[in-house]
Structure 1
Amino acid sequence: MASLHASNNFLLSSSSSSNQIRAAISIPKLPSVRFSAPKLRQPKTQSEQLNSKDGFINTIPIQNNVHSTPLVQQTSSVSMATFQLYAILEAIADRVEMHNNIGEQRDNWNTLLLNSINMITLTATTMVGVAAVTGVGAGVSVMGLKLASSVMFSAATGMLVLMNKIQPSQLVEEQRNATRLFKQLQSQIKTLLAVGSPCQDDVNDAMEKVLALDKAYPLPLLGVMLDKFPASLEPAVWWPRKQSPNSNKALTNNNGWTRELEMEMREVVEVIKRKDSEDYERLGNKALNMNKVLATSGPLLTGIAALGSAFMVSSNSPWAATVAAVAGALASAVNTFEHGGQVGMVFEMYRNNAGFFKLMQESIESTLDECDVEKRENGELFEMKVALQLGRSLSELRDVAKKSSYSRIEGSPMDEFASKLF
């Protein structure tokens, strides 16, 4: 037993010593190292060689395949006519701003010139009166007053001639009308873009209307300014002479037109011709004649005052002083009545109103002259537009047409105007 126990102890000690020796001589595992062959670099392109010039790499990327996208795609669902109409809208907006600004500027002209000329005239008149009261004994001071008054009357005469030539109040009214009509055209184009499908004919029609407005209400003063003193009133024309037919399609077989509606429109045209247009032309001619008299009288009176003050310098006649003072005062009154009362603006207002009724006549007549009702504007819509432009309801418009028909049959005068707006 003792021998077996000793042998076991020997085996255990030998096994433990062998484990210790094995642990002492064990070699740690080395990390696995992977070797990869270097990749061959591709040859540089010309653009890369330019970027790496002088050994420095340029960080600005070069786009090799750059394709520019056009603003208007050919395959776009929006037609070219729509883009053209938007371009016309931008031009119209610019014209509205220009006419508005120039109208304000010319309104300032009217105010400043009126006040300046009146101040010069009244100052010269006062100086003439002071010189006449002072008499001969004052010497050099009186001579200075006489010379100064003569110069001031002459300056007032020249300024008044220029002011009467251009008629600032009439210029202001022209710009107001142009602004309103351009805004109206702008609204029509926006409506067309919103509810319709525009075509090239609509673009051409809009262009013609813009150019017609430019011609009717020019911005420059030199060369193309409207004649402020024509022989007689001519209605303003701001629309193309040949208007394209309206493109509204029919909802019924006759496009809303009946024989009764055509007769009604013809009677409305007759009322406009006999009453409204004739009345505004008559009033416009009266305003024109009054403006001519005032425009001639103002410079004439200041010229007489300048001559009177000049005679005061050479001769101390009391009549010369009286003529100069009275003429100067009258010139100031005439100038105030003409430009303060804006007689030129009144004439331009009548001229524009006569043009409005002329446009209505041509619009109705051109529509009725179209034999194919399918090419006309819808009859019910057209009747409503005419009634709104004349400030009437549909029933009132029909009553006016009936009264016109009865008056022509009976030979009695028509006592009612077509328009109730103005």
Structure 2
Amino acid sequence: MSTILTQAYSSFLCHKRSRTITKASIQLPKKLTTDPSNLPKLPSHGVLSVDQELNPNPKETDAAAVEKLYLIMEAVADRVEMHKNIGEQRNNWNSLLLTSINSITLSAALMAAIAATSVVEHGAHVEVAKFTSSFMYAAVTGMLVVMNKIQPSQLAEEQRNAARLLKQLLAQIQTKIAISNPTQDDVNEAMEEVLAIDRAYPLPLLGVMLDKFPSKVQAAVWWPEKRSNPVKRKDKKNGWNEGLEDEMKEIARVLEKKDKADYLRLDEKFLMLNKVLALSGPLLTGFGAIGSAFLGSSHDSWAVVAGVSCGVVASVVNSIEHGGQVGMVVEMYRSNAGFFGMVEESIELNLKEGDVEKREDGELLEMKLALQLGRSVQELRDLAASSNTSEEEMKEFGSKLF
């Protein structure tokens, strides 16, 4: 009996051990031999790639155009630094020259007063004082003629405007590369804009410097001739409707009759003031030089007045002109008038294009104008609605920004 039990127990253990081994062998991982190319493919119907989702009309990127735009960006960034550095330099010219000229002018007036006193009391050393005063007056007259001709404060404002516009152009090119597929037309347009800014705000002084005292006031122009965009848009209306066209016409009329006209009027007044001050300074110092030369002569009475008073008045005139940076104000008003001219030209270009699909997107144009004029979109629409009056009754300006 015990032998039978022992054999049964041994048989049970052997059977259990074989089941355990079999179970373990089933859990061992097997090498994947399936060919991925033989796997069934998912249907592509209704599924868009990432590029298709981001760009409804995908097209190949023009690598050459992108490379050229990057080259233009490098040149624009370099120009920004050039205009910035030269603008700071010319602003320093204005401060240093004004300080030096006023110091020399007042010193010449003081020497003229000392010479006049020496003639009355002692009559000694009067020739030295006269010569010193006349020499300083002559030197400062020459310095004033040059300073009034180049108008350092106006030059500095030109460079500041150029740096700002170039930074704006740089951002536009970066955006174009990021969200669209640039072409050779984009390269040509960017080149034209860079060269237009170069012509509007030249860096050299000799030969190409802008006329600081033009006979006729004109708004600044720093953009090339605009052309319509032949690229088809997202739909047939392209964000335009009859109401938006009427709104754009009214905005353009307000900018032309109010904003641009007002800045040109102010620019003309400050230009006339600058002309008077620029002529008065050298004339006064010139009279001071003549008066100092005649001290101690038979014309001593008026010579003292000319030698002393003209120098003091000349210092005041120079401080108003260059300390007040009248030339900078002239350039600022000229640039502001140019800005409104650019906005007006952009509106008219879109309205002249009969095919709305070739215009800028109407909604985007409306938003851009609102931002440029410091208004919300609704305020822009209210302005267009309220400006539908005669020019004499038109009271509100288009821009709230400046």
Structure 1 and Structure 2 fold alike (TM over 0.5): yes
Q: Aligned to 2:237, what secondary structure does the other structure show?
A: coil
CA contact (8 A) 2:104 2:140 kept: yes
CA contact (8 A) 2:116 2:296 kept: no
Aligned residue among 282, 285, 289 for 1:306: 289
Structure 2 counterpart of 1:41:
none
Over residues 382-415 of structure 1, what are the superposed CA-to-partner deviations in whole Å (9 max), with x where a residue is unaligned?
A: 110011101111111111111112x13xx76111
Separation in structure 2 between the aligned mates of residue 247 and residue 231 of structure 1, nearest angstrom: 40
Structure 1 counterpart of 2:228:
245
CA contact (8 A) 1:132 1:318 kept: no
How far the C-alpha of 1:275 sits from its partner, in A, is 0.5
CA contact (8 A) 1:304 1:323 kept: yes
Structure 2 counterpart of 1:372:
355
How far the C-alpha of 1:119 sits from its partner, in A, is 0.4
Q: Say yes or no: does 1:132 pair with 2:132.
A: no
Q: Say yes or no: does 1:227 pair with 2:211.
A: yes
Q: Say yes or no: does 1:404 pair with 2:384.
A: no
How far the C-alpha of 1:283 sits from its partner, in A, is 0.3
Separation in structure 2 between the aligned mates of residue 302 and residue 247 of structure 1, nearest angstrom: 61
Aligned residue among 229, 239, 245 for 1:262: 245
Change (3 A) 1:318 1:158: same
Aligned residue among 357, 372, 394 for 1:389: 372
Structure 2 counterpart of 1:98:
82
Over residues 139-195 of structure 1, what are the superposed CA-to-partner deviations in whole Å (9 max), with x where a residue is unaligned?
A: 442210111001101111111011000000000000000000000000000000010
Structure 2 counterpart of 1:336:
319
Separation in structure 2 between the aligned mates of residue 335 and residue 171 of structure 1, nearest angstrom: 17
Structure 1 counterpart of 2:15:
none
How far the C-alpha of 1:319 sits from its partner, in A, is 2.7
**Matched residue type, 1:141:** H
Structure 2 counterpart of 1:87:
71
Structure 2 counterpart of 1:414:
394
**Matched residue type, 2:302:** W
Over residues 251-310 of structure 1, what are the superposed CA-to-partner deviations in whole Å (9 max), with x where a residue is unaligned?
A: 332111001100100000011111101100100000000000000000000001011001
Separation in structure 1 between the aligned mates of residue 296 and residue 203 of structure 2, nearest angstrom: 45
Over residues 31-80 of structure 1, what are the superposed CA-to-partner deviations in whole Å (9 max), with x where a residue is unaligned?
A: xxxxxxxxxxxxxxxxxxxxxxxxxxxxxxxxxxxxxxxxxxxxx96611
CA contact (8 A) 1:390 1:421 kept: yes
Separation in structure 1 between the aligned mates of residue 61 and residue 245 of structure 2, nearest angstrom: 40
Structure 2 counterpart of 1:161:
145
CA contact (8 A) 2:62 2:183 kept: no
**Matched residue type, 1:416:** E
Structure 1 counterpart of 2:333:
350
**Matched residue type, 1:297:** S
TM-score (norm 2): 0.83
Aligned residue among 267, 288, 312 for 2:271: 288
Q: Aligned to 2:387, what secondary structure does the other structure show?
A: helix
Task: After the TM superposition, list the runs of 4 or more consecutive aligned residues in structure 1 that deviate by more than 6 angstroms.
Answer: none
Structure 1 counterpart of 2:97:
113
CA contact (8 A) 1:246 1:377 kept: yes
Name the count of aligned residue pairs.
343
Structure 1 counterpart of 2:39:
none
Aligned residue among 121, 132, 136 for 1:148: 132
How far the C-alpha of 1:339 sits from its partner, in A, is 0.2
**Matched residue type, 1:175:** Q
How far the C-alpha of 1:373 sits from its partner, in A, is 1.0
CA contact (8 A) 2:154 2:327 kept: yes
CA contact (8 A) 2:98 2:318 kept: yes
Q: Aligned to 2:295, what secondary structure does the other structure show?
A: helix
> Share of identical aligned residues, percent?
60
CA contact (8 A) 1:205 1:244 kept: no
- Structure 2 unaligned blocks of 5 or more: 1-59
TM-score (norm 1): 0.79
CA contact (8 A) 2:154 2:331 kept: yes
**Matched residue type, 1:116:** S
Q: Aligned to 1:132, what secondary structure does the other structure show?
A: helix
- Structure 1 unaligned blocks of 5 or more: 1-75
**Matched residue type, 1:356:** F
Q: Aligned to 1:135, what secondary structure does the other structure show?
A: helix
CA contact (8 A) 2:138 2:289 kept: yes
**Matched residue type, 2:147:** M
Q: How does 1:57-96 map onto structure 2 within 5 Å?
A: 79-96=63-80
How far the C-alpha of 1:322 sits from its partner, in A, is 1.9
How far the C-alpha of 1:106 sits from its partner, in A, is 0.6
**Matched residue type, 1:413:** E
Separation in structure 2 between the aligned mates of residue 248 and residue 116 of structure 1, nearest angstrom: 58
CA contact (8 A) 1:249 1:377 kept: no
Structure 1 counterpart of 2:47:
none
Over residues 82-113 of structure 1, what are the superposed CA-to-partner deviations in whole Å (9 max), with x where a residue is unaligned?
A: 00000000000110011011101111111111
Structure 2 counterpart of 1:190:
174
Structure 1 counterpart of 2:187:
203
CA contact (8 A) 1:146 1:313 kept: no
How far the C-alpha of 1:323 sits from its partner, in A, is 1.9
How far the C-alpha of 1:134 sits from its partner, in A, is 2.5
Q: Aligned to 1:312, what secondary structure does the other structure show?
A: coil
For the pair shown, the structure with the greater C-alpha radius of gyration is: 1
CA contact (8 A) 1:147 1:313 kept: no
